[in-house]
Amino acid sequence: MAEDCGKLVNPLIVDGQVHGNSTTANTVLLGLVETDHDKEWVEANREKLVKLYPVRRLGQAGDVVPMVALLVSPKSGWITDQTLSISGDFSMV
């Protein structure tokens, strides 16, 4: 599930296609989340990567899953057209 979280869809485009049928559309922006993909590269660059994040660690699937689970649950029916950053306060600015 966490690997799929990085796929971005513009909520405004989706909203225009589903407006009026109770479908919500949100975007989740991720920082670097550790997965089995590129594990060797992450380990080789961990010290440099961690310094980019104010929380001084990389993300874990457990950091992302609760928010995504909320967004796909009936409890989030009033949350729509939002961009949520789950990034350890990483910013490219």
Reported as a pLDDT band with limits 50, 70 and 90, residue 1 is very low
pLDDT value of residue 81:
87
The encoded tokens of residue 39 equal: 């594990």
Please report which helix (H) or strand (E) contains residue 15, including its range.
Answer: helix 11-18
Nearest by Cα to 26 from 66, 84, 67, 73: 84
The encoded tokens of residue 91 equal: 């910013």
Helix ranges, 1-93 (H): 11-18, 39-50, 61-71
What's the predicted TM-score (pTM) here?
A: 0.68
Mean pLDDT over residues 6-14, rounded?
50
CATH of the domain at 13: 3.40.50.720
How many domains, in total, are found in the chain? 1
In a domain, 91, yes or no: no
Domain region containing 68: 2-86
Using alpha carbons only, how large is the chain's radius of gyration in Å? 15
In a domain, 93, yes or no: no
